[in-house]
Amino acid sequence: MRDYDNVYIRQEIRLHRKNCVAQERLEALIRRDGTLSSKQMERLSELQEKNATVEGWLLLLSEDEAYVIKRHLIDGITWPRVWAEYSQKWKEFGKCERTLMRYQDHALKKIQRFMNDQDDNRTTK
């Protein structure tokens, strides 16, 4: 059983973009060559699992939480820019950067609870 902590989840989300590119590259090799080495197939399988996991995590979140996670952690956008985009998109100028940071924190905790609950359910069966 793995204990999913905030640091691990944040790291997996930050790596999502690179993992998607690596997966796409391996899939392109399959289309071109028709096959991959066993090591490449293992890596492709690992990338598909990681990418599906992160995409699944985003489905757990509210629209606000997912937006902040995508723009800040996945796309690497700074907080001031995330705030400016958020304000323009939703026309909500009352929210500050600190609120968006709380959305991110809440989202990471929500993902962490979900993953740890999933592991607990697997070990009790």
The structure's pTM equals 0.86
Query: Which residues, other chains included, contact 119 with Cβ-Cβ below 8 Å and sequence gap of 6+?
Result: 1, 2, 3, 4
Encode 45-62: b = buried (16+ Cβ within 10 Å), e = exposed: eebeebbebbeebbeebe
What does the pLDDT look like over 64-99, one tens digit per residue?
999 999 999 999 999 999 999 988 887 766 678 899
Element (DSSP H or E) covering residue 85: helix 79-90
Poorest-confidence range of 36-45, 48-57, 71-80, 88-97? 88-97
Give the per-residue pLDDT at 67. 95
